[in-house]
Amino acid sequence: MRQRLEALLERLVRASIVERIAISIAALFASILVGGVLVFVSGAFASCQTGLNVAGWTFCYNPMQVYYELFLGALGHPLEGGWSPGNHRLATTLQQTTLLIFTGLSFAVAYRAGLFNIGTQGQLVVGGLATAVTVVYASLVVPSGVVGTVVLIPLGVLAGAVAGGFFGAIPGALKAYADANEVITTIMLNFVAVGITSTLLSWQFQDPDSPNPGTRRIPEYAEIPNIPLVGFSSRANFSLLALAFAIALMIGIAWLLARTSFGYELRTSGVQPEAAAYSGVDEKRMIVTSMTLSGALGGIGGALWVLMQHGRWLESVPPLGFDGIAVSILAANNPLGIGVSALLFGVLDSGSSAIGTATAVPPELVGILSGLIILFVAMPEFFRMIGTRYVEVGSSDLVRTDGGELAEDGATADDGGERDD
């Protein structure tokens, strides 16, 4: 049994990109099949006036309609007449996609450095508050109009990045200089972030004209604008410019990790820390730097949540940081794959609302369907991550992370078994 498990993990580690995509597609169809059966059977325990009668049982839910609403409803029903690419449902899907790209990148950067940043949610929270406060007070001295837009939006994004980066540097420094487990410290700092922001809000930044806990609204000209003629309605709280920025940053992070000396040092520190230290990489500096970059990306996500979606910071922040962990794992922590993974999560979020509007399926069952899709699609990559870790520390009957097969004496197969003593 153990040998079979090791062989399966080895096979997953060796899988090519095409094979991994095929596995993910097969897992998606499997989740739809299992979810469809669950929906159909659940309909037997619901009450309805019309349904499918089978052997005296009345089944109230139609799995085909449910999945139609889940996937096509998230796009605004493009197969129906009168569809517009600027519809509200598609805007909601892309809005979630945009924000999840940042939180997914946040976790991926830390993971590639061998760290687990569970604190993206806290970094997003403090980044969002820093953005709202900075823009509100800066708007008092910055001219309105186009000048205000050009100045305040980058300033708000920078404020979110700095605040999130600072909140990411704290567990990084604790890990580097006190050997504190970053999983524990980042989880704890999530609660600290909520406490600090709530206290600052009640003491200083609460909007006196609003009954809801939140800051004053930023000026309308400080919100991320739509692209003329091809943009979405202002009521959609989404901007293609924000999505374009997210995609550009995603490509930039991928280039940084793959094509620069910093990215090489970061990846080496995560895969083979001993080799990185031997080659002269400052381990402590790399830990702090990677966690700071990770936190800054989470903080930018908070900034976009304010500048694009709400126009203010609200105390009820959605769990975008935690969702970003699943987004990154689903993409195998590959920055270029995070966009597709975030889109899937955006579709599931928006499509779940469409199901609730168009069918009688209870929201609890809809949540189970979304969870099944995420579970089935993410599990192969999750086990591949486990296999990669096992390969790195396992015995010589497995494979190296660089793709070379280890010989019995520990040398790689591609060097003929020779090694220097």
Q: What is the pLDDT of residue 106?
A: 98
Q: How many domains does the chain have?
A: 2
Question: Which contacts of 332-336 are long-range, i.e. CB under 8 A and separated by 24 or more positions?
Answer: 332/20, 332/381, 332/384, 332/385, 333/107, 333/108, 333/111, 333/112, 333/385, 334/108, 334/254, 335/105, 335/108, 335/250, 335/251, 335/253, 335/254, 335/257, 336/250, 336/251, 336/254
Q: In terms of residue numbers, what domain contains 235?
A: 88-353
Contact between 222 and 143 (Cβ < 8 Å): no
- 199 and 307 in a single domain? The answer is yes
Same domain, 332 and 365: no
pLDDT of residue 417: 45
325 plus 368 within the same structural domain = no
- Is the domain of 256 the same as that of 386? no
Asked if 209 and 251 sit in the same domain, the reply is yes
Calpha distance 125→321 (Å, rounded): 9
User: Do residues 292 and 212 share a domain?
Assistant: yes
Where does a domain end: 353, 378, 395? 353
In a domain, 52, yes or no: yes
Between the CA of residue 186 and those of 158, 330, 332, 334, 356, what are the distances in Å? 22, 21, 21, 22, 35
Residue 147's CATH number: 1.10.3470
Residue pointed to by tokens 């007070």: 137
Q: Are residues 187 and 242 in the same domain?
A: yes
What is the 8-class DSSP label of residue 226?
P
For residues 30 and 178, state if they share a domain.
Answer: no
For residue 15, tell me if it sits in a domain: no
On whether residue 67 sits in a domain, the answer given is: no
* Domain assignment present for 189: yes
Q: Domain for residue 132, yes or no?
A: yes
Closest by CA position to 247, among listed 62, 416, 110, 94? 94
Q: Which helix (H) or strand (E) holds 381?
A: helix 363-393
Residue where one domain finishes, among candidates 353, 380, 396? 353
Query: Does residue 412 lie in a domain region?
Result: no
352-375 CB burial, b ≥16 within 10 A, e <16? bbbbeeebebeeebbeebbebbbe
pTM: 0.86
* Rounded Cα distance, 195 and 371, in Å: 30
Per-residue pLDDT of the chain (421 residues; tens, 9 = 90+): 777 777 777 777 788 878 888 888 899 999 999 999 999 999 888 877 677 777 667 788 889 999 999 999 888 888 887 777 778 889 999 999 999 999 999 999 999 999 999 999 999 999 999 999 999 999 999 999 999 999 999 999 999 999 999 999 999 999 999 999 999 999 999 999 999 999 999 999 999 998 889 999 999 999 998 876 566 766 668 899 999 999 999 999 999 999 999 999 999 888 888 888 888 889 999 999 999 999 999 999 999 999 999 999 999 999 999 999 999 988 989 999 999 999 999 999 999 988 988 888 888 899 999 999 989 988 887 787 777 766 554 444 433 344 344 444 444 444 444 444 4
pLDDT at residue 272, rounded to an integer: 82
- Looking at 353, 381, 412, the residue that finishes a domain is 353
- Asked if 283 contacts 265 with a C-beta cutoff of 8 angstroms, the reply is no
- Amino acid letter at 350? S
Do 200 and 324 lie in a common domain?
A: yes
Q: Answer yes or no: is 83 within a domain.
A: no
Residue 313's Cα: distance from chain center in Å? 20
Q: Are 390 and 244 part of one and the same domain? A: no
User: Quick one: 347 and 397 in the same domain?
Assistant: no
Cβ contacts of residue 247 below 8 Å, gap of 6+? Answer: 101, 339
What does the block give as tokens for 375?
Answer: 């579970």
* 380 in a structural domain: yes
- Between CA 146 and CA 140 the distance in angstroms is 15
Residues 220 and 365 in one domain: no
